[in-house]
């Protein structure tokens, strides 16, 4: 396996099953991001050079093009920047329609896209406070990764 450079401390106790590099650090991959979701944690990468908070993870910092990161846990709270209501979804989401997907500006800065649950489409509004939550059941379709979604902050 090609080695990916990561360094720094892991700020959270983590379970088994994460892909790690030769130093034992959890690799900055989307698959590891979803494994954190399975533990109920929304995790971002923090760039070791410029400090950018990156979520979902990317292999290169979009701000300074650095490639060394550490994982940081986010609070999972933010405000809805924009949304759209899906009436004609892809087959695997048909049972959920109509449903909303949006982009949330997290408190820590990143803009994270996701489905918005537990809010009626007519009650959605730009700027509303939302928080991340996690599905407990794995989806039937590939990729069978746990999924996160947003709900209105109670
Ligand atoms: Zn950077």
Tens of pLDDT, residue by residue over 25-79, are 899 999 999 989 988 999 999 999 999 999 999 999 999 999 999 999 999 999 9
17 with 47, same domain? yes
Tell me the residues surrounding ligand 1 (ion) with CB < 5 Å.
Answer: 47, 49-50, 52, 61, 63-64, 66
How far is it, in rounded angstroms, from Cα 39 to Cα 12?
11
Q: Answer left, alpha or beta for residue 22, where phi above 0 means left and psi between -120 and 50 means alpha.
A: alpha
Look up the domain containing 91 and give its range. 77-152
How far is it, in rounded angstroms, from Cα 35 to Cα 32?
5
Find the 53 Cα to ligand 1 centroid distance in Å: 8
Question: Is the pTM above the cut of 0.85?
Answer: no
Residue 134 has pLDDT above 90, yes or no: yes
63 with 91, same domain? no
How many Cβ atoms sit within 10 Å of the Cβ of residue 135? 15
100 with 38, same domain? no
Name the pairing type of β-strands 77-86 and 43-47. unpaired
Count how many domains the chain has: 2
How far is it, in rounded angstroms, from Cα 28 to Cα 25?
9
Find the 62 Cα to ligand 1 centroid distance in Å: 7
Q: Are 131 and 42 in contact (CB under 8 A)?
A: no
Q: Are 9 and 18 in contact (CB under 8 A)?
A: no
Find the 61 Cα to ligand 1 centroid distance in Å: 5
18 with 29, same domain? yes
Please tell me the predicted confidence (pLDDT) of residue 143. Answer: 64
How far is it, in rounded angstroms, from Cα 131 to Cα 51?
23
62 with 96, same domain? no
How many Cβ atoms sit within 10 Å of the Cβ of residue 55? 20
């Amino acid at each position: 396996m090609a080695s990916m450079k990561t360094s720094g401390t892991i700020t959270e106790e983590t379970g088994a099953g994460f892909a790690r590099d030769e130093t034992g650090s959890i690799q900055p991959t989307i698959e590891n991001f979803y494994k954190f979701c399975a533990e109920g944690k929304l995790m971002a990468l923090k760039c070791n050079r410029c400090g950018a908070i990156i979520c979902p993870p990317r292999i290169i910092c979009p701000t300074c093009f650095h490639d060394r990161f550490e994982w940081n846990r986010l609070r999972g709270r933010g405000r809805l920047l924009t949304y759209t209501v899906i009436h004609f979804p892809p087959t695997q989401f048909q049972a959920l329609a109509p449903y909303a997907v949006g982009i949330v500006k997290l408190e820590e800065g990143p803009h994270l896209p996701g489905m918005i649950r537990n809010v009626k489409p007519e009650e959605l509004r730009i700027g509303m406070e939302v928080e991340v939550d996690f599905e407990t059941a794995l989806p039937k379709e590939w990729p069978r990764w746990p999924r996160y979604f947003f709900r209105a902050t109670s």
